[in-house]
Amino acid sequence: MENFRVLVVGANFNNKGAQSMLFITTDEIKKRNPKSEIYYAGCEVFDENKYAFHEVFYSEPAKSIALGNNAMMLETKCFIKDCVKFVVRKQNNLFRFNEIKNLIKEINLIIDVSGFNIGKKWSVEIQESYLNNIRLARKYNIPIIMMPQSFGSFDYPEDKKFLLKEISELLKYPKIIFAREREGYQMLTEQFGLKNVQHSTDLVLQNDGVDVSNIYKKPLKNMSLPHVGKNSVALIPNTQCFNHGDKDRNIQMYKEIISYLLKAGKTVYIFRHSREDFPICKLVAEQFQGNKNVVLLDNEFSCLEYDEFVKKFDFVICSRFHGVVHAYRNYIPCILLGWAIKYKELAANVGQEQFAFDITEPNFNSDQVKNVIDQLLINKDKESAIIKAHVTEIRKNNCFDQIAGYLQ
């Protein structure tokens, strides 16, 4: 079929994990259907001359207009707001609020690559926005597939329990829901009785390489990555760990871990995997101001550059899910300092469960991390081989092969 149009929702460019899922989804679809047209649903500044896929403006008001929710009133508000922006010379994305309403009828398939947007840890607004993607697909009778992502838990407080009915009703609509963790799979199948759920590891981990011509219109220039010397370790914090945990306790934990690495003769590079994390990176680095063996990078890597950069380190201490995934893709050992079950199951998928911690647990302490640092100082090559063996097996079952029939 010519002009097979796919709308990819749930991605963004601020977070390298979300960008990875967009790039890999685009690549995997085009490999299976070269004539497909991919539309990225976003509301950032986007360079159409740079990328080999399209962008459609997909703000919350734009989505509501397409759904027909108070559409006339919303269109009027958006028009007035954009007129004001025009007058004050804020001219990004002006008068684009009807784009998705006009395009949606031409879409053949919606792919949702949200990483984790539903469950008791999220606000009602975030969860309703997530569910609106399914509402939009249902309204226009478009198939939607939820690619590997996390779900739950759903033991909501009283003021959020109304979401249970919405979830139960709406999650029946997708053709396939890929649950990234077994816990999420069990909740969806047992708590909600869903029959359209499959368990699948992360799609970025399953991918064995991207054809960059499916992503960029022009060949990439040589990557200009920071120099990293021998005996170096990457440290990648996550704002969410501070939101869900104790800030002072976390800072103290990082101080103790970095001090331990320095005593072991390591140079520590601190950098972000998502734009929102840089203030935390800076705060951690400030604890070692003046120490040339603690390096703060204010990087703006693409996910492809990050994938290359992570190869330079002996191992990685990471709190970003896809920061870990990119390391595992390249068989680099990781110590996972997470805040949700998804981190422990990710590590278990590649035989690394002893290196995963939930730093929000009351009994967690830096001594646990020091113990596994000692293991990696001795056995990093052994652990790398274990990761490689598991990833090789994981790549034999690509979730895009399972949905190939929907991509034509």
Q: What is the DSSP string of 284-339?
A: HHHTTTT-TTEEE------HHHHHHHGGGSSEEEE-SHHHHHHHHHTT--EEEEES
Contact predicate 149/130, CB 8 Å? no
* Length of the chain, in residues: 408
CA 4 to chain centre: 26
Q: Work out the pLDDT band at 23, boundaries 50, 70, 90.
A: very high
Most confident of 201-210, 218-227, 249-258, 380-389: 380-389
- Structure confidence by residue, pLDDT tens digits, 178-233: 999 999 999 999 999 999 999 999 999 999 899 999 999 988 777 789 999 999 99
pLDDT at 88: 80
In angstroms, what is the C-alpha Rg of the chain? 22
| Mean pLDDT along residues 132-161 | 96
Whether residue 123 is predicted with pLDDT greater than 90 in this model: the reply is: yes
pLDDT at 2: 63
Please state, rounded to an integer, the average pLDDT across all residues of the chain.
93
CA-closest candidate to residue 23, choices 301, 344, 396, 393: 301
Rounded Cα gap, residues 127 and 149, in angstroms: 14
Rounded Cα gap, residues 276 and 371, in angstroms: 30
- Structure confidence by residue, pLDDT tens digits, 75-110: 888 788 878 887 887 767 777 889 999 999 999 999
Question: Which helix (H) or strand (E) covers residue 63, if one does?
Answer: helix 60-67
CA-closest candidate to residue 370, choices 269, 263, 249, 291: 263
Mean pLDDT lowest for which of 1-5, 37-41, 164-168, 388-392?
1-5
Residue type, 241: C
Alpha helices of 171-289 — where are they, by DSSP H? 182-186, 203-206, 239-244, 247-263, 278-286
Give the pTM: 0.91
Q: Work out the pLDDT band at 402, boundaries 50, 70, 90.
A: very high
Percentage helix, strand, coil, to 5, in the chain? Answer: 50, 15, 35
Q: Which regions of 101-181 does DSSP assign to beta strands (E)?
A: 109-112, 144-149, 176-179
Whether residue 45 is predicted with pLDDT greater than 90 in this model: the reply is: no
Whether residue 70 is predicted with pLDDT greater than 80 in this model: the reply is: no
| Mean pLDDT along residues 11-17 | 90
Backbone φ, ψ for residue 168 (5° rounding): -60, -40
DSSP string, 62-92: HHHHHHTSSHHHHHHHHHHHHHHHHHTT--T
User: Cβ contacts of residue 88 below 8 Å, gap of 6+?
Assistant: none
CA 211 to chain centre: 20
Rounded Cα gap, residues 347 and 121, in angstroms: 22
Query: DSSP character for 45?
Result: -
Question: Which helix (H) or strand (E) covers residue 268, if one does?
Answer: strand 267-270
| Mean pLDDT along residues 163-185 | 97
Other Cβ atoms closer than 10 A to 396: 8
pLDDT at 221: 77
pLDDT at 1: 46
Q: Is the dihedral of CA 368, 373, 375, 381 positive or negative?
A: positive
Mean pLDDT lowest for which of 10-19, 241-250, 352-361, 377-386?
241-250
pLDDT at 331: 97
